[in-house]
């Protein structure tokens, strides 16, 4: 299930189904496991925490931590010797998703919003000038 805010955009109609397909079956592993979902926001001149909060209807005082896109995905795309076949396949799919985002969005950033039960957004600006990317959740104690 994707988060929708705005429809009927030329670039969105081409890219968003690709992001949804790339997210299919992906799980973000933390103290809990959460689905990775496509995210669609409305127009934004820049990618920043306040824009994300505004799109979510969040409170201005919510904790927002910005992470570098590359460093966030580095941990998720590194194959370890001890990975099972399933973990290796998940890593491959995450790398494909990362590449899809990099090739189609600019000003890519990652935001963690909240404390303990954290909402995570990896987003950039699409050719229509709108926030687009992925979202998931984590439990961090």
Tell me what pLDDT residue 89 has: 84
- According to CATH, what is the number of the domain 10-139? 3.40.1460.10
Tell me what pLDDT residue 1 has: 46
Tell me what pLDDT residue 13 has: 74
- Please state, in angstroms and rounded to a whole number, the distance separating the CA atoms of residues 32 and 10: 36
Q: What are the boundaries of each domain within the chain?
A: 10-139
pLDDT one digit per residue (tens) for the chain, 141 residues: 454 444 456 666 788 999 999 999 999 988 889 999 999 887 777 888 888 888 777 777 889 999 999 999 988 877 777 878 888 788 899 999 999 999 999 999 999 999 999 999 999 999 888 899 999 999 998
C-alpha distances in Å from residue 114, one per residue of 10, 53, 57, 64, 66: 33, 11, 13, 7, 12
- Please state, in angstroms and rounded to a whole number, the distance separating the CA atoms of residues 66 and 9: 27
pTM for the model = 0.86
Tell me what pLDDT residue 6 has: 47
């Amino acid at each position: 299930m994707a988060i929708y805010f705005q429809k009927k955009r030329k670039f969105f109609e081409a890219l968003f189904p690709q992001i949804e397909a790339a997210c299919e079956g992906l799980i973000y592993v933390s103290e809990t496991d959460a689905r990775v979902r496509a995210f669609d926001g409305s127009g934004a001149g820049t990618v920043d925490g306040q824009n994300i909060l505004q799109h979510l209807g969040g409170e201005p005082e919510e904790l927002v931590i910005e992470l570098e896109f590359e460093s966030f995905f580095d941990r998720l795309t590194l194959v370890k010797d001890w990975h099972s076949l399933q973990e290796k396949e998940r890593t491959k799919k995450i790398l494909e998703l990362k590449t899809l985002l990099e090739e189609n969005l600019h000003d890519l950033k990652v935001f963690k919003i909240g404390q303990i039960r954290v909402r995570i957004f990896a987003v950039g600006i699409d050719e229509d000038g709108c926030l687009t990317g992925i979202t998931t959740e984590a439990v961090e104690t």
